[in-house]
Amino acid sequence: MRAFPPDLFPTSAEDHAACRAAIRAGSKSFFAASLLLPPAVRRPAYGLYAFCRLSDDAVDETRGDRAAAVDALQRRLTLACAGTPRSHPADRALAEVLSVHAIPEALPRALLEGLAWDATGRRYASLSELTAYAARVAGGVGAMMSLVMGVRDPVALARACDLGVAMQFTNIARDVGEDARAGRLYLPLDWLEEAGIDPDAFLRDPRPSPGLRRVVARLLAAAERLYQRSEAGIALLPAKCRPAIRAARLIYAEIGRAVEANGLDSVGSRARVTGGRKAVLLAGAVWPVGSPAAAAAPPLPETAYLVEAVARHPAPQPMHGLPPWWDISGQAVRVLDLIEALEQRDAFRRSTAS
């Protein structure tokens, strides 16, 4: 992938506002945590997320050939990597992020590979196979976020992948019923067999059961182990970035606890974390949790190739100085960031006063 000076990309304040709107609509949990990121990191993070959201929606919501939708995304990614993105806010933002932060093409390609697995209705025989899927659709995103924050250390990247995989496990545990009603099944088949659950019969008539609750509990336990491992990587991030990533980690782990509070029934109800609880977790995100002992742990076998791809890719050239005062786009984004923070503060005050 070629590297291009950031001023060659035709991104605008409108592009970045569109990317910010995508994350605000697509993931309230991640959006809440992202407000703690410094603006210089939040802007590319929104651009990265916007393409991920666009890609997921393109495959998930298509009524036609899902494989063709993935092929179209592959072509869009190729154009972005070449510095000639399609005329769309998410594509332009992605091209800028990939080049400026020296993100190897293998990482966004991993996401599209995972979406290709979704397009074929792939099932996962074991936790390892499910981890390989989660590595693609979430672990690679965690690694890209680490690069956006300027961190390329292999240990930090391994823990970032841990966090992404843990979040995906949480999503799967929460969405069992929703996925089943859409004809999708992500739970490890060997676990279902041990619990006496026939996968096809469950998809025909999704119902909660003691066996299913045990499977969901096992997946949440696997996620929790990875959340604990990820904490060591958060300590390796820039100090200003740690609260946001720790907040995301805490909020997603809390989703798992909400699933448990629902009696591990992910079919009849969908676990949610209230705005008030998110506010508490955001406030507590400045303090580290867990043990740093996991720092020395090697990457998961399923995510090792992502860490290795970064090690083989040239690091970005350092950039010096702040954007000039006449950079209208940059100034507009900073103003929008300020307005957004003030709106969030006022909304929180109203919620606590009511």
> Can you give the pLDDT at residue 2?
55
* Residue whose structure tokens are 């996968």: 199
Task: Give, in order, the Cα–Cα distances in Å from 150 to each of 74, 146, 246.
Answer: 26, 7, 17
> Can you give the pLDDT at residue 290?
53
In a domain, 209, yes or no: yes
In a domain, 325, yes or no: no
In a domain, 296, yes or no: yes
> Can you give the pLDDT at residue 163?
97
Q: In this structure, are residues 16 and 47 in contact, taking their beta carbons and an 8 Å threshold? A: yes
Per-residue pLDDT reduced to its tens digit, 105-136: 999 999 999 999 999 999 999 999 999 999 99
Nearest to 267 by CA among 175, 171, 200, 202: 175
Domain that holds residue 182: 10-312
In a domain, 105, yes or no: yes
Backbone angles phi, psi at 52, to 5 degrees: -60, -45
Dist. CA 256–CA 173, nearest whole Å? 8
Task: Report the helix count and the strand count for the chain, using DSSP H and E.
Answer: 17, 0
- The residue with greater pLDDT, 348 or 15, is 15
> Can you give the pLDDT at residue 315?
87
How many structural domains compose the chain?
1
The DSSP line for 278-289 is HHHHHHGGGS--
In a domain, 2, yes or no: no
Per-residue pLDDT reduced to its tens digit, 26-85: 777 677 777 889 988 998 999 998 899 889 988 888 878 899 999 999 999 999 999 999
In a domain, 350, yes or no: no
Angle CA 161–162–167, to nearest 5: 95
Q: Is the pLDDT of residue 264 over 50?
A: yes
- Taking each helix axis from N to C end, the angle separating 304-312 and 154-174, rounded to the nearest 10 degrees, works out to 140
Nearest to 118 by CA among 183, 170, 22: 183
The DSSP line for 210-239 is HHHHHHHHHHHHHHHHHHHHHHHHHTTS-T
> Can you give the pLDDT at residue 278?
83
Residue 173: CB atoms within 10 A of its CB come to: 26
Dist. CA 333–CA 47, nearest whole Å? 13
**DSSP secondary structure letter of residue 300:** P
Angle CA 292–295–296, to nearest 5: 130
Q: Is the pLDDT of residue 191 over 70?
A: yes
Dist. CA 91–CA 96, nearest whole Å? 9
CATH number, residue 139:
1.10.600.10
Nearest to 272 by CA among 201, 208, 178, 190: 178
Dist. CA 268–CA 48, nearest whole Å? 33
Task: Give, in order, the Cα–Cα distances in Å from 51 to each of 222, 273, 330.
Answer: 28, 25, 21
Dist. CA 116–CA 104, nearest whole Å? 20
Within 13 Å and on the Cβ side, how many CA atoms surround 347?
10
In a domain, 342, yes or no: no
Q: In this structure, are residues 260 and 174 in contact, taking their beta carbons and an 8 Å threshold? A: no
In a domain, 331, yes or no: no
Q: In this structure, are residues 246 and 149 in contact, taking their beta carbons and an 8 Å threshold? A: no
pTM score: 0.84
Q: In this structure, are residues 230 and 249 in contact, taking their beta carbons and an 8 Å threshold? A: yes
